[in-house]
Copies of this chain bind each other. A is one copy, B any other.
Amino acid sequence: MSQQRLRIGFIGLQAERGWGLSAHLPALRALADGFEVTAVANSSLESSTKAAQALGVPHAFASASELAQSPEVDIVVVTVKVPHHFELVKAAIEAGKHVYCEWPLGNGLEEAKILTDLAQKKGVLAVVGTQARVAPEIIHLRNLVAEGYVGEILSTTLIGASPPWGGSIDKPNAYTYDRANGANLLTIPFGHTIAALFDVLGPIAELSARLDVRRKTATLVETGESIPATSPDQVLVAGTLESGAPISAHYYGGESKGDGLIWRIVGTQGELQLTGPGGHSQLVQLELFGAQGETKKLEKLPLPKKLADDATDGPIVGNVRRVYQALAADLRDDTQTAPSFADAVKVHQVIAAIEAAAESKGFARPADF
């Protein structure tokens, strides 16, 4: 290709495990014509160096701010724990770098708003990792709804079960059981799915909600130690979309033994149902079913050829890859087709509204937050 490759500086890329290794790196390698990973910064120079050597990355930095300042980096990718997002993303934007930050963008709405404003001010491309939005089945669902497959939307309902947030947890993920860390059932699996729902059905106007922690402790698998669980493992929403259609959602923690995701959209002319093994919709292989008019039973709807041809690397790598492709196109064409920080703020607003409605046992409007 004629253009220079986009140079990725990775904050949070470990050699042995983690989302950067399992999702981002394979996606970037599949897009090697357009991207190269030039730098890594972890929590210590030792860790950065280890990852850089193991993964063939030229530059290892002792700190994220050094990476952000590096002339070898065009785009800073942030795949660390949520509580660190704000400082790291802020530093990257202030250094004038484009950013791809994993979802949730902030530990709470305010952080997301500040980062969005800052990115706007600095004129950098700010992409958030709500990858379910680019899952082929979601794109197909969105297109079908837009084309009127179900007619006018009457209502939608979601059931989602997602690990962890069950009775036991491994140490590296134990932080997700502490609500203060902002990385929980509500923000992550539910948030990813709501981000996709926006694309398909539009925003939520108003909602009532309940949050609960049913399992107040969890067992660390490595030691058998019991730790407190304060993150919600139950999310219940009864609301109304801006279109007027009611939305019901129930997400709960743990593995499901049935369909871990059921998302049904009912309209005047038909019905669509998206299912998957889990409610964390960016991670799982989704399946779309539909029936229109006189057809009485849902039938599996295969992906159109173009989407099917783009789905051969599976959901985890494929969804991240599609975000990188959108990001590259945005930089080339001066567009914003990749999930944006501004989009992330809208999801954070829904989460804030859910928290407020659950707290007050009343209702809340996401747009008021």
Contacts and interface: CB of A to CB of B under 8 A. Distances in A.
Given A208-B208, A210-B239, A258 B234 contact: no
Nearest to A360: B362
B250 A155 contact: yes
A244 B215 CA distance: 11
Interface in A221-258: 233-234, 236-240, 244-246, 248-250, 252, 254-258
A238 B237 contact: yes
A167 to B, nearest CB: 7
Contacts of A297: 257-258
Contacts of A214: 154-155, 244-246
Interface string A252-287: 101111100010101010110100000000000000
Residue from A155, A240, A257, A298 having most chain B Cβ neighbours under 10 A? A257
A295 interface: yes
Interface residues of A, number: 47
A239 B248 CA distance: 12
Contact of A363 (B239, B298, B361): B361
A296 interface: yes
A155 B257 contact: no
A325 B231 CA distance: 49
A46 interface: no
A-B pairs with the 3 shortest C-beta distances?
Answer: A248-B250, A236-B238, A208-B208
7 contacts: A155-B234, A157-B252, A236-B238, A236-B246, A236-B248, A237-B238, A257-B296
